[in-house]
Structure 1
Amino acid sequence: MLQFQYIEFLFGLAILLPLVGLFLFVIHWKKKKQQQLGDNRLVTQLTSNYSHQKYQIKIVAVIVCIGLLILSAANLRMPLLPKGSATKGVDVMILLDVSKSMLSEDEKPTRLDKAKELIYQLLDKLQGNRVGLILFAGQAYLQMPLTADVTAAKMFVSNANTDVVNLQGTVISEALTLCNNSLDVREKKYKAAILITDGEDHEEKAVETAKTLTETGVVLHTIGVGTVGGATIKEAGTNDAKRDVNGETIITKLNPDLLEELSKTTGGTYQTLNKTDEVSARLINTLKEMETKPINNSGFVDYQSYYTIFLAIGVALLLVEIFISEKKTI
């Protein structure tokens, strides 16, 4: 069923009524002024090169263009899968590190931005599965419970930043525990977790916690973001390198050894996030090999948008209006 995503923009169509009224007023005003100028035949001769019809076409084109642009902004769309439809898939929990070290720029533009780019690609390819999102630094929070609504998932990912978790650090074990509790512990399969971090853990419980994931049937895949050589962390607002209490510049480094050990513990895979396309493709292929279960879609999996149609026609009309002359064609 077709629907508009941003219904509030449709109220903008109300502006067309005063525009049409203004247009009719101008036409009436022009006729009145023409009559006031004097001899009708003389006025006609003086304005013989002017096309009243072309003027009207230009104004109508502008008004229709405004209406089409408003409809484009409202984003007419159609759900690809209706509510309540059933697909086969798995439950995937994404664990994203949002600690300050993820602002390092050894991956461009930052580690966090590159991680989010990977998640966007994964979400596009995970349609039909249920996906959840956990954000963690010194603490872990369930940002989004499992859902089949890809559009909602992308919105939560876009809002992820280093300010959403007040306590800084990188406590992977707490994120893993929350992940395990957020998945169905009664099932011993159909579950995967994707941990995206630079691996700078500040406590030693991560490997032990990963073993509990194995007991409940969760396969953990780890993605390392950053470089082994490391990089500085820029202070917000000043762009100065972050320093420790002794005044020494802090260098944050990727810890691939920990991430490899975590993935091996649960029978998962480890990859360094170099080329986003290749990493997402390999990870999706791995997930596709998992045994699936029926998944009821409580929302909409994704949408086909049609805003480009209104936008293209509107821009075309605007270009036509620009090139239409108000002079008569001889």
Structure 2
Amino acid sequence: MAFSPSLAFAYPWLGLLWPLPALVYWLAPPYRSHRPAVRVPFFTALRRLSGAAPSEGASVSPRGLWRSLALFICWTLALLALTRPQWTLPPVHHEKPARDLLLLVDLSGSMDTQDFTNAAGEKVTRLAAVKQVLDDFLARRQGDRVGVVVFGDAAFTLIPFTADLKLARQMLGEMQVGMAGPKTAFGDAIGLGVNLFAASKAPAKTMIALTDGNDTASSVPPAEAAKIAKDRRVVIHAVAVGDPAAAGEEKLDEESLKEVAATTGGGYYRALDRDELAGIYRRLDAIEARKIETVSFQPRLELYWAPLAALALLSMAAQALRLVRRPRLRTAEAAR
């Protein structure tokens, strides 16, 4: 349906004051300007000869038609400006992100293992493959706010929530293995992510956690952190890239990751190569489809300045005309 711009008034009820000057003119007594009389020594003789009884009085200056009309138009323009006329423009629809997406990226020493291949078929580290896949994933997240938490011996906020996906992709490309320590503090990373979501007003809150080892350095177990995330309505998807058959620090604790995902209503995924990892993020892209909240507002163009400008011009023109006519009237009276 086509929208037609229209004229509206913010305070139309002020139009009820329009006849107020007429009511004042009819009901209020006229303004009287008192003038001192000329004192003459023969006033008593004049009163006796004329037979008139003197009394105190006042002279009422008559107002001409054009002057009355100018005042009435000025009142109308002033009242029109007070009603705030507005020109209603077509509605504007603004889309804003309705989701905050937080990536938890494991930077422990085992992420330096070269058991993945890149798009060219070359052997690369797990982190290199992860960065390539995450870059493609973020390129399709237009409309979401994205944040990144990295974890090793401890968890750190690499990127607070931002809608600048170009900056987020650049910062992800600069991640290095071991920059957060050699161990794996997965539970602490979830806790830090929950704290970051505390200030979020987005209706949907999602974490995507990527790790290749078991938790060995957290002060809060991942299962306990997941329960807190569930209470805050945060969904966690767990993506595992480690080898379940490995031992020690590099051993993948699949049961813990599955429990974290199940507790929060997310999914658990395991990738043994780059193609599987890319497929996982394609599925996540479909599951966590971009959510947009549409906000509409009606722009209005204020027009109160137009009657005010007309009022100023009219009052100045009327005053100028009065000043021009005054010497002429005095000349005419002197000629009489």
How far apart, CA to CA, are the structure 2 residues paired with 1:94 and 1:201?
17
Within the alignment, does 1:102 sit opposite 2:103 as a pair? no
How far off its partner does 1:278 sit? 1.3
Residue equivalent to 2:319: none
Residue equivalent to 1:228: 244
Task: Show CA shifts across 1:100-133 (max 9, x none).
Answer: 0111223341121122122112101111111001
Gap runs ≥5 in structure 1: 1-84, 232-249, 296-330
Question: Could you tell me which of 91, 106, 127 is aligned with 1:112?
Answer: 127
Shift in alpha-carbon separation, 1:294–1:191, aligned structure 2, 3 A: farther
Task: Show CA shifts across 1:134-171 (max 9, x none).
Answer: 11101111011111111101111011112422x43101
Shift in alpha-carbon separation, 1:125–1:188, aligned structure 2, 3 A: closer
Shift in alpha-carbon separation, 1:187–1:265, aligned structure 2, 3 A: farther
Question: Is the contact made by 2:213 and 2:252 (CA closer than 8 Å) also made in structure 1?
Answer: yes
Within the alignment, does 1:281 sit opposite 2:282 as a pair? yes
Residue equivalent to 2:173: 158
How far apart, CA to CA, are the structure 2 residues paired with 1:184 and 1:292?
20
Question: Could you tell me which of 209, 222, 243 is aligned with 2:225?
Answer: 209
Output the amino acid matched with 2:185.
Answer: V
Residue equivalent to 1:122: 137
Output the amino acid matched with 1:164.
Answer: M
Equivalent pairs counted in the alignment come to 191
How far apart, CA to CA, are the structure 1 residues paired with 2:203 and 2:259?
21
> Over aligned residues, Cα RMSD in angstroms?
2.3
SS in 2 for 1:87: strand
Residue equivalent to 2:187: 173
Within the alignment, does 1:136 sit opposite 2:155 as a pair? no
Question: Could you tell me which of 92, 95, 104 is aligned with 1:86?
Answer: 95
How far off its partner does 1:93 sit? 0.4
Residues 56-95 of structure 1 aligned to structure 2 (within 5 Å): 86-95=95-104
How far apart, CA to CA, are the structure 1 residues paired with 2:148 and 2:97?
20
Moved more, 113-122 or 262-271: 113-122
Percent same amino acid at aligned positions? 28
Question: Is the contact made by 2:115 and 2:125 (CA closer than 8 Å) also made in structure 1?
Answer: yes
Shift in alpha-carbon separation, 1:292–1:264, aligned structure 2, 3 A: farther
Gap runs ≥5 in structure 2: 1-93, 118-123, 296-336
SS in 2 for 1:277: helix
How far apart, CA to CA, are the structure 1 residues paired with 2:241 and 2:104?
13
After TM superposition, the score normalised by the length of structure 1 is 0.53
Output the amino acid matched with 2:257.
Answer: L
How far off its partner does 1:228 sit? 1.9
Within the alignment, does 1:269 sit opposite 2:267 as a pair? yes
Question: Is the contact made by 2:110 and 2:213 (CA closer than 8 Å) also made in structure 1?
Answer: no
How far off its partner does 1:187 sit? 4.8
How far apart, CA to CA, are the structure 2 residues paired with 1:189 and 1:135?
24
Shift in alpha-carbon separation, 1:180–1:107, aligned structure 2, 3 A: same
Question: Is the contact made by 2:104 and 2:210 (CA closer than 8 Å) also made in structure 1?
Answer: yes
Shift in alpha-carbon separation, 1:294–1:189, aligned structure 2, 3 A: same
Residues 315-330 of structure 1 aligned to structure 2 (within 5 Å): none
Task: Show CA shifts across 1:75-99 (max 9, x none).
Answer: xxxxxxxxxx633431000010001
Question: Is the contact made by 2:100 and 2:202 (CA closer than 8 Å) also made in structure 1?
Answer: no
How far off its partner does 1:280 sit? 1.2
Output the amino acid matched with 1:128.
Answer: G
How far off its partner does 1:292 sit? 5.0
How far apart, CA to CA, are the structure 2 residues paired with 1:196 and 1:168?
15
How far apart, CA to CA, are the structure 2 residues paired with 1:87 and 1:188?
10
Residue equivalent to 1:53: none
How far off its partner does 1:272 sit? 1.1
After TM superposition, the score normalised by the length of structure 2 is 0.52
SS in 1 for 2:213: coil
Question: Could you tell me which of 193, 214, 224 is aligned with 1:200?
Answer: 214
Question: Is the contact made by 1:103 and 1:112 (CA closer than 8 Å) also made in structure 2?
Answer: yes
Larger radius of gyration: 2
How far off its partner does 1:294 sit? 5.7
Task: Show CA shifts across 1:26-62 (max 9, x none).
Answer: xxxxxxxxxxxxxxxxxxxxxxxxxxxxxxxxxxxxx
Question: Is the contact made by 1:139 and 1:174 (CA closer than 8 Å) also made in structure 2?
Answer: yes
Output the amino acid matched with 1:158.
Answer: G
The structure showing larger relative contact order (alpha-carbon pairs under 8 Å, at least 6 residues apart) is: 1
